[in-house]
Structure 1
Amino acid sequence: MQAAQTFRQPLKPLDDALQELLAHAKPLAGSQQVSTFDADGRVLLQAAVSPLQVPPQDNSAMDGYAVRAAECVVNGAGGEAVLPVSQRIPAGVAPDALALGSVARIFTGAPVPAGADAIVMQEDCEVLEEGRVRIKTQPKTGQWIRRAGEDIRQGATVIEAGVRLTPAHLGLAASMGFASLNVARKPRVALFSTGDELVMPGTVAPQDMKPGSIYNSNRFFLRALLLRMGCEVTDLGIVPDDREATIAALADAAMDHDVIVTSGGVSVGEEDHIKPAVQALGQLDLWQINIKPGKPFAYGRVNRESGTGFAHFVGLPGNPVSGFVTFQVLVRPFLLRLQGVQNVLPRSIEARADFALSKSDKRREFLRVRYNERGGLELFKNQSSGVLTSTAWGDGVVDNPAGTTIAVGDSVRFIPFSELMA
């Protein structure tokens, strides 16, 4: 009697999986008004429209003297203009109009007095007796003057809604007078790992580890990545390889979290209980992605027992590099979109491969690489999904299409870790 054949669905292309995943990522309801001091990394919900122009008035870009350029003409005999100093203008002081036939001592950032049309650096001047100054160069009209509004125009939208704020954005917001900003609330994320083999560092000494046990590394880098994505993280520890325990953990996590992220148990083994547990409580929409590393990836929904909605579910593979990569290419954009960010894809650059990949793979590969002293990329020697060393050693990944070999000198698509983990 012939055994029944098991039919497997084809692997889902990464771009299709990401598109489907993002379709589920509706921005979370609710917002927060936070101090601009504390808004780094938050996502702006209300565009920052400037109530004023920056700078508010013409000001000096240098320490020196405010002058009328026409009064500083060097005479034909080789002499230099000598003019009296009529006032001193530090930053924060409203100046008088510049008296005819005089100059004003001025400092960086100070308002330019009416009548002045140039600034002469103090290095191009010589202080003489009786409050006079020799101008040793012929100034050009407008030199070293920062014009009012040259940075920001009044009424301009300076920071668009949906931008993830950086320190530069905070400085911009402060320059427009914003003491606080309206931002998206942080996604509430529950994180747990599955696996009877997992041991937390510090609980068992290395020499006392049981055969088959491993330290839980995924829990550490996933929590750090979630925090970098602006999430509030609840660490629910390690759930044993048991279906009922997994169902209970998922049901509990769904009660007061927006997203549940798990590590391990999403493959097809007998001890992988995540898939049936999610299906028991809700639905599973994605499964088996055509990438390497990271094929066993799951997305679904866990319904709340209260009947008030659901929590998104993301199941990452247990192999550490697989979990690391799938988080970056799928979970990171999903979490950003939940916070209202529209441009969620990481930027890549073209770089030179200083390595060869003679054997292609049927899956789209994310190869761990780093820059060498010649400005090219070198490949970590062991690309196994269990070798986490490659992620600490590398500067980023090469996004290599399925079925593609690489020769030394080829141009490849490089995604820096600095872009993925900003």
Structure 2
Amino acid sequence: MSLSCFDLGERMLSVDEALDAILGFAAASPPAHETLPLAALRGRVLSEDVTSPVNVPQNTNAAMDGIALAWPVGQQDQEQGQRQGQGRGREQGQEHHPLELPEPWTLVGESLAGHGYRDKVPEHAAVSITTGAPMPPGTDTVIMSEQLEEAPPEAGRERVRVTRPETVRVGQHVRQAGEDVPRGTVALTAGTRLAAEHLGLLASLGIDRARVSRQLKVAIFSTGDEVTAPGEPLPMDGIFDANRFSLQGLLTALGVEVIDLGILADTSQGMVSALRDAAAAADMVITSGGVSVGQADWIKPALAETGELGFWRIAMRPGRPLAFGRLGSERVPFFGLPGNPVAVMVTFLQFVQPLIRRLQGEHAWQPLRLMARAEESLKSRSGRVDFLRGVYHADESGQLWVRSTGRQGSGILSSMVAANCLIEIAAPCAGIEAGETVTLQPFMHRG
């Protein structure tokens, strides 16, 4: 039974056709939401815009340690203000004269971070100020400590002299209230995946919780009588199960809850039962192995009994046999990934990751693609997309270059360890010559 929204049958799909069909599923599946405290938000996706309730910074404040004062406006400042089309913090229409400095400056108090100076500072006077402290009334400029020298006190008050006054500009070393985030503006948009910098921004706004997409639950299991769990004795004809642990790492990096169902033997009824149970417990089900045309491949017939199959062949390498469908009355999305470990990771990155991000609310997400020159000739076959494991670097001029990691068999998992990107060779290409431009997808992080 084919999915009516796909209607793709047994046809070999292009990579773009398969991805469009998969993402089309997410359009009918809006994510559920929950509200979490700030400390629990890392890696989660905002489900609504966050508007700032305050100005950041709250007060106009000093960006340097030094003194705060009202710097006289001279001819140089007037000309600069006219060039910039704005005044320099004085009333419009005020007459400007050549710069005349009261020397030295008398200190009448201090403004500290958390303890501001509240009185208006008299003309020709100054206040000691620390970084982050509010600018006192009547001041508009900060002179940093390195540009000050002591002068003899007068009437019991300290005085300082400004060195190199010709370098001072009105408004220097001052951070305006709201210059980072003004009150009432959107600070973070829905669909943002929250990283450390986003948590810091939310905290700076005084926001201690946010509404995010509910954490997805993804069930995974491996198939095959030959597959053995790490730590168990390896049979003569067996292989250790690498795929489940690669998938766990990739899924954890996306902030999902992994339901590990272990290894299932190649039996039809066991597969049907496992798929039904997984669909009832999870928001997505992923298997590896058992989706080609081999005699012992049970996933496709089991899927036909428990759900509906959309497609299972894609014109790409590695990863041509990839089944996508839905399970049970819950219509849970299902991926039957290939059995070879490199193919599992490549197909996850190209198809599973985009759907997970879309279901989490990251509707604008796109994989990062860079252009680089090939250091060597790269083999491909026209009519399919080839994803080669590669290593890219920048030369002294900033030009990106990329080479393959060597042997590209889909069972050579060490080639993924050696790589920092996938080299994407488009279907029309029969290969890439050394020096030609090619597309690459950097590995942004490892799970």
Tell me the TM-score normalised to structure 1 length: 0.91
Tell me, yes or no, if structure 1 residue 337 matches structure 2 residue 358: yes
Kindly indicate whether the alpha-carbon contact (under 8 Å) linking 2:102 and 2:124 is maintained by their aligned counterparts in 1.
no
Counterpart CA distance in 2 for 1:48 and 1:402 is: 42
Q: 2:132 aligns with which of 95, 109, 115?
A: 109
Kindly indicate whether the alpha-carbon contact (under 8 Å) linking 1:396 and 1:414 is maintained by their aligned counterparts in 2.
yes
Kindly indicate whether the alpha-carbon contact (under 8 Å) linking 1:80 and 1:135 is maintained by their aligned counterparts in 2.
no
Counterpart CA distance in 2 for 1:30 and 1:415 is: 30
1:211 CA drift (Å): 2.2
Tell me, yes or no, if structure 1 residue 188 matches structure 2 residue 190: no
Kindly indicate whether the alpha-carbon contact (under 8 Å) linking 1:351 and 1:377 is maintained by their aligned counterparts in 2.
yes
Map 1:381-396; keep pairs closer than 5 Å: 381-396=406-421
Partner of 2:388: 367
Unaligned runs of 5+ in 2: 1-8, 76-97
Counterpart CA distance in 2 for 1:178 and 1:27 is: 29
Partner of 2:442: 416
Summarize the Cα distance change of 1:27–1:84 in structure 2 as closer, same or farther, 3 Å threshold: farther
Kindly indicate whether the alpha-carbon contact (under 8 Å) linking 2:10 and 2:312 is maintained by their aligned counterparts in 1.
no
Greater Cα shift, 147-156 or 89-98 = 89-98
Tell me, yes or no, if structure 1 residue 349 matches structure 2 residue 370: yes
**1:167-218 deviations in whole A, cap 9, x for unaligned?**
11111111111100100001111110001111111112xxxx3222111111
Greater Cα shift, 95-104 or 152-161 = 95-104
Greater Cα shift, 271-280 or 94-103 = 94-103
Kindly indicate whether the alpha-carbon contact (under 8 Å) linking 1:45 and 1:184 is maintained by their aligned counterparts in 2.
yes
Kindly indicate whether the alpha-carbon contact (under 8 Å) linking 2:324 and 2:334 is maintained by their aligned counterparts in 1.
yes
Counterpart code for 1:413: T
Tell me, yes or no, if structure 1 residue 267 matches structure 2 residue 292: yes
Counterpart code for 1:408: A
Tell me, yes or no, if structure 1 residue 400 matches structure 2 residue 421: no
Partner of 1:327: 348
Percent identity over the alignment is 37
Q: 1:290 aligns with which of 315, 324, 342?
A: 315
Unaligned runs of 5+ in 1: 1-7
Tell me the TM-score normalised to structure 2 length: 0.86
Counterpart CA distance in 2 for 1:411 and 1:164 is: 32
Q: 2:235 aligns with which of 210, 232, 255?
A: 210
1:411 CA drift (Å): 1.6
Kindly indicate whether the alpha-carbon contact (under 8 Å) linking 1:187 and 1:232 is maintained by their aligned counterparts in 2.
yes
Counterpart code for 1:59: N
**Matched pairs, number:** 404
Counterpart CA distance in 2 for 1:68 and 1:376 is: 54
Counterpart code for 1:178: I
C-alpha RMSD of matched pairs (Å): 2.2
Q: 1:169 aligns with which of 191, 198, 210?
A: 198
Q: Secondary structure at the match of 2:321?
A: coil
Counterpart CA distance in 2 for 1:79 and 1:339 is: 61
Instruction: Point out 4+ residue stretches in structure 1 off by more than 6 angstroms.
Output: none
Counterpart CA distance in 2 for 1:202 and 1:264 is: 21
Tell me, yes or no, if structure 1 residue 92 matches structure 2 residue 114: yes
Kindly indicate whether the alpha-carbon contact (under 8 Å) linking 2:13 and 2:315 is maintained by their aligned counterparts in 1.
yes
Counterpart code for 2:143: V
Greater Cα shift, 26-35 or 238-247 = 26-35
Partner of 2:82: none
